[in-house]
Amino acid sequence: MPAYPKNRKGRKVSFVNNQPASAAPPNEVRVLIPNVRPTATYALLGILAVVFLAELAVEQTNPDQSLITQGALSLATVAHGDYYRLLTAMFLHVDPAHIFFNGYALYVVGVTVERFFGHFRFLAIYFLGGLAGGLASIGLTSNPESFSVGASGAIFAIFGAEIVFLYLNRRLFARSAQTYLRRLVILAVLNFAIDLYTQIGPSPIRIDLWAHVGGFIAGIVLAWLMGPRYRGREDPFSIPGVRIDDMVAGERILVVSAAFAVVLVVLFFVRLGLYQG
């Protein structure tokens, strides 16, 4: 992942084309990039851990309780009015390995994305992307009784958002942006290839490919419409006289988030209508 500078003392961080100041060539300058602490990422990791421990406790006390009864997502149950499953399924996991890999991916990608996107944008992309992944899962499934759980749809959303973020700000990150963009794209292709293999190959595991695709596309769209777009401007009160600002207004973030949520609601009820009709 990109070696983004970490913010340890405040809301901004020194940055020299993605390199420490001591390693920067003489013709490069130090600028400040808006930066927040990734507290929402840590909160989500804590919630996922608590929910998984609760799952284990329920299994120990009541072995008849399955993931379906705890809130897993399937088209059949949602069609009967359990709309809440689009949200609850994002916090459930099958086993320790499932939550470990999802938790690790959320930590690696989430810390970076939240640091530059801010808390609200990060959470908006996470939850809207997760809901989009769930909608894609029930919308494109061939078996209405099959169920899915996991935070991976939301994680793929912020993964897609990071790719867009690097692309939109590639001039600021200079050559390092091209390197990391290639790595991220290759990683995405490998992940989708593995997902596809579990669907058509002899693998005993069936990864929800459509949830990942739906979340990934949602993250790309949301980041393109409301992700940070940095521009430099003269600032006589800073050294070396240049300041980096995010040109995306807060009002735009709210409008895009609301509009995307409305689109998801419309698509959701269209899918239910097709299934029930």
Query: For position 266, which CATH number holds?
Result: 1.20.1540.10
18 within some domain: no
**pTM of the predicted structure, to 2 decimals:** 0.86
127-148 pLDDT, tens digit each: 999 999 999 999 998 788 888 9
**Is residue 114 in some structural domain?**
yes
Q: Which residue has the higher pLDDT, 233 or 276?
A: 276
Does 9 fall in a domain?
no
Looking at the domain assignment, is residue 54 inside a domain? yes
Total domains in the chain come to: 1
* Phi/psi of residue 34, nearest 5 degrees: -55, 135
Nearest CA to 227 among 107, 112, 100? Answer: 112
Dihedral sign, Cα of residue 266, residue 122, residue 51, residue 106: positive
Q: With a cut of 50, say whether residue 122 has pLDDT above it.
A: yes
Residue 241 in any domain: the answer is no
47-105 pLDDT, tens digit each: 999 999 999 998 888 876 788 888 999 999 999 999 999 999 999 999 999 999 999 99
What angle separates helix 152-168 from helix 96-117, to the nearest 10 degrees?
A: 30
Q: What is the CB neighbour count within 10 angstroms for residue 169?
A: 19
pLDDT value of residue 177:
75
Residue 26 domain flag: no
Q: Tell me whether residue 212 is one of the annotated catalytic residues.
A: yes
Find residue 244's DSSP bridge partners. 232
Residue 153 · residue 133 · CB < 8 Å: yes
- Residue 164 sits in which domain range? 38-229+246-276
What is the DSSP code (8-state) at residue 242? E
Per-residue pLDDT at 120: 96
The reply to whether 30 falls in a domain is no
Residue 165 is assigned to a structural domain of this protein: yes
Q: Give Cβ neighbours of residue 169 (< 8 Å, ≥ 6 apart).
A: 177, 228, 229, 230
| pLDDT tens per residue across span 225-242 | 999 998 877 666 665 566
* Distance between CA atoms of residues 234 and 65, nearest Å: 61
Which is catalytic among the residues 142, 212, 238, 257?
212
Tokens of 150: 């996991």
pLDDT at 19 > cutoff 80: no
State the virtual CA torsion across 132, 87, 75, 276 in degrees, nearest 10.
Answer: -90
Q: For residue 10, name the pLDDT band (cuts at 50, 70, 90).
A: very low
Instruction: Answer whether residue 15 shows pLDDT above 50.
Output: no
Amino acid 222 reads L
Residue 152 catalytic?
Answer: yes
- Tell me the one-letter amino acid at 131: L
Q: Which of 137, 148, 152, 257 is catalytic?
A: 152
